[in-house]
Structure formats: C-alpha cells, structure tokens
Amino acid sequence: MGESGYLAAFIAVAALATFATRVIPFLFFERHTEHPLVRHLGRYLPAAVMALLATVFLQRSADWSGAWMGFDALLPGALVVIIHLWRRNALLSIAAGTISYMAIQQAGL
C-alpha cells in the first residue's frame, strides 16, 4: 500500500470516528430524553460550554499587554452579547463577533 493508500485509510478511519461520535449520543439518549440528568445537561451545558469558550478566548487571544488592555477581544465579545440579546440569533452574533475581531486584528489595533 503506497502513501496515497495510507492517506485514504487515515481519512476513512477519521471520517468513521467522527460519524460515530456524532451518532452514538443520539442512539444512547433516544429512550432517555425525560431522564432528569439528560434534562439538566440539556438546560445548563450549552451555557457552560459557551462560558468556557469565552474564557479561553479572552485568556489566549486578547493582548493584555497593549495600551488598551484586552480591547482586541473585549470589544468583539461585547458585540456578540449585545447582538445576541437584541436579535436572539446565535449565528448573527457569532458572525458579527468574528468579523469585528478579524477587522481589529487586520487593522493592527
């Protein structure tokens, strides 16, 4: 098996593993949707994941040593919160935050 065969096998295994990690929770929780633990996780886990992502983003992406400490990440973060509270549209708020962050990075602010 040549290099392209190994690459094809790697891609196939990666695709299968990705598909399995997406499907298995639905198969497992299909009959347990009313279980208190599943309902609790469904209610609180999305907000906890978003808070964790925001914390990691602010810690790793913001320039805390510049003249305007953290401006490059705090402004897009605030924009995401404001747009989400205004429109209740996650895609719009995330897109606006990403665009504003990239514009600040490209402008060198």
Does residue 77 contact residue 57 with C-beta atoms inside 8 Å?
Answer: yes
Q: What share of the chain is helix, strand, coil (3-state, %, to 5)?
A: 80, 0, 20
Does residue 62 contact residue 70 with C-beta atoms inside 8 Å?
Answer: yes
The amino acid at 19: F
Q: What is the pLDDT of residues 9-65, one digit of tens each?
A: 999 999 999 999 999 888 877 777 788 887 888 888 888 888 888 888 888 888 888
State the residue for tokens 């279980």. 35
Q: Where residue 88 falls among pLDDT bands split at 50, 70, 90?
A: confident
Q: What is the rounded CA–CA span in Å between residue 54 and residue 1?
A: 45
Give the start-to-end residue ranges of the domains of the chain: 61-108
Alpha carbon distance, N-terminus to C-terminus of the chain? 51
pTM comes to 0.59
Dihedral (CA of 79, 84, 89, 90) sign: positive
Q: What is the pLDDT of residues 89-99, one digit of tens each?
A: 888 988 999 99
> What local confidence, expressed as pLDDT, does residue 1 receive?
66
